């Protein structure tokens, strides 16, 4: 049965803004993005929202719903009671452009700072067969849709603009881990993750993992193993010596 839901939607720009109240129709099976579209169609034609696929795959409709980082297109209205007020605000960690749209260029900058996959220069096509276990490890990380909800959630940068230069965030520490664990990557990703991308600032709270719409075990499978490698290099003399003598041939 259709009903009228109470919505509070943040409207404004980089200078100022406020929550505005709306009463809007909701139909069975709808998601929050449907309601935002209905607001645009009926009450707020200039309401800015970013979206593309409406299928949880493009990563562009990230926002905060009742204070929790979520995809607008994957949050069903049935999550809330009919009496509940649904509050929709832009991601807090990134500068607002307008209404629900934020400037996420911080993430593209950090992406550029991670050196790309570096296979051995003399490796010919067909020379190497990956083990299934190595394929599966990369595949988990490559499910990332770059919604940046994990980046938005991480307390290291969420209310600490001053940490953004030193900290690349869970999505890009995970990218460093993906490459570090790749059997053919010859670059040494461990020191740069720690020193250039701020791995040491992560205190494994797992908040990033909790909000990931792809259910990637960011903390357990990427961040903690990278931290273990950092610790092994620092405190285990055998690992330290091995890292010096057997610098990745990996073929
Ligand atoms: S586990 Fe690390 S990267 Fe993830 S939210 Fe916590 S501090 Fe941030
Ligand atoms: S790791 Fe998950 S939460 Fe982070 S950007 Fe990728 S899909 Fe989004
Ligand atoms: S619109 Fe593509 S993930 Fe929501």
Ordered by start, the domain boundaries in the chain are 3-102, 105-245
Provide the edge-to-edge strand list for the sheet that holds 17-26: 17-26, 3-12, 85-89, 62-65, 68-71
Predicted confidence at residue 251, as pLDDT, reads 39
Residue pLDDT, tens place only, 182-208: 999 999 999 999 999 999 999 999 999
Predicted confidence at residue 49, as pLDDT, reads 98
137 vs 249: which has the higher pLDDT: 137
Q: Average pLDDT of 28-42?
A: 98
Q: Ligand 3 in contact with 17 (CB < 6 A)?
A: no
Q: What is the pLDDT of the chain when averaged over all its residues?
A: 94
Predicted confidence at residue 236, as pLDDT, reads 67
Predicted confidence at residue 237, as pLDDT, reads 66
Radius of gyration, CA atoms only, the chain: 21
Predicted confidence at residue 240, as pLDDT, reads 65
Nearest-ligand number for the alpha carbon of 62: 3
Residue 31 carries which DSSP code?
B
Q: Does domain 3-102 have CATH number 3.30.450.20?
A: no
206: number of Cβ within 10 Å = 14
Q: Ligand 3 in contact with 26 (CB < 6 A)?
A: no
Collapsing DSSP to helix, strand or coil, 69 comes out as: strand
Residue pLDDT, tens place only, 98-108: 999 999 999 99
CA of 60 to the centre of ligand 3 (A): 5
> What CATH class does 105-245 carry?
mainly alpha
């Amino acid at each position: 049965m259709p009903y009228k839901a109470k919505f509070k939607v943040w409207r404004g720009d980089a200078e100022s803004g406020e929550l505005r109240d709306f009463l809007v129709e909701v139909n069975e099976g709808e998601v929050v993005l449907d309601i935002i579209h209905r607001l645009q169609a009926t009450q707020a034609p200039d309401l800015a929202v970013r979206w593309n696929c409406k299928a949880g795959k493009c990563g562009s409709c990230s926002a905060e719903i009742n204070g929790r980082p979520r995809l607008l297109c994957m949050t069903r209205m049935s999550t809330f009671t009919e009496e509940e007020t649904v509050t929709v605000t832009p991601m807090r960690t990134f500068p607002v452009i307008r209404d629900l749209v934020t400037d996420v260029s911080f993430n593209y900058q950090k992406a550029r700072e991670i050196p790309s996959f570096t296979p051995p220069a003399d490796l010919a096509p067909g020379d190497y067969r990956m083990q299934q276990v190595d394929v599966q490890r990369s595949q988990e990380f490559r499910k990332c849709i770059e919604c940046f909800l994990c980046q938005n959630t991480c307390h290291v940068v969420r209310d600490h603009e001053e940490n953004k230069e030193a900290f690349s965030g869970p999505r890009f520490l995970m990218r460093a881990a993906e490459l570090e664990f790749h059997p053919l990557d010859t670059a040494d990703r461990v020191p740069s993750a720690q020193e250039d991308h701020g791995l040491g600032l992560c205190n494994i709270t797992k908040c990033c993992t909790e909000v990931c719409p792809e259910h990637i075990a960011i903390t357990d499978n990427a961040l903690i193993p990278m931290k273990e490698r950092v610790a092994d290099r620092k405190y285990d003399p055998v690992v330290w010596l091995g890292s010096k003598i057997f610098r990745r041939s990996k073929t």
